[in-house]
Amino acid sequence: MLNELIIIALAEYGETGISGPTSNRKILKYFSEIGAKWVKNDDTAWCSAFVNWVLKQANLPYSSALNARSFLNYGRKTNEAKIGDIVVLWRISKDSIFGHVGFFIKETADLVFILGGNQNNMVNISAFKKDKVLDYRTI
């Protein structure tokens, strides 16, 4: 099942938000298909929408929530992340409401590599410092 998530997510690799008054229709589709039809542009943070959309495509439960930290309650906690597990990161501070979410690819001593949306405004694999990880969640 987890590899199916990665296949679905990788098929979206390179989808990029568009600066200015135009928006990427595919990104708007992520919002719409998870129930956030009110979102009208790709300037809205979309990492959570992307993860939810991928989960929905794989016929798995999804939250429809647009805040990354909502995934702290998804699935179950794991201390040994495997490819396809969900990674929740903090932004601003550990106690803020802000975060980022994506799918675990691999890790090194200091970095975690995440396949996600809205990483530099696109779907890609990016490295994040491991000290930003709030939790790893498995389905």
Q: How far apart are CA 112 and CA 21, in angstroms?
A: 34
What is the residue-averaged pLDDT of the chain? Answer: 95
The domain that holds 36 is classified in CATH as: 3.90.1720.10
Mean of pLDDT values over 1-29: 92
Q: pLDDT of 72-123, one tens digit each?
A: 999 999 999 999 999 999 999 899 999 999 999 999 999 999 999 999 999 9
C-alpha angle 126/133/6, rounded to 5°?
45
Distance of CA 121 to the CA centre of its chain: 12
Q: How far apart are alpha carbons 104 and 82 in whole angstroms? A: 7
Of the pLDDT bands very low, low, confident and very high (cuts 50, 70, 90), residue 11 is very high
* pLDDT-based confidence at residue 3 (cuts at 50, 70, 90): confident
Q: Mean pLDDT across the stretch 42-54?
A: 96
Contact 10, 115 (CB under 8 A): yes
Look up the domain containing 125 and give its range.
2-138
- What's the whole-model pTM score? 0.95
pLDDT of 20 over the 90 cut: no
Q: How many domains in the chain?
A: 1
- Beta-carbon count within 10 A of 6 CB: 17
- Average pLDDT for 11-24: 94
Three-class DSSP labels, 32-58: HHCCCCCCCCCCCCCHHHHHHHHHHHC
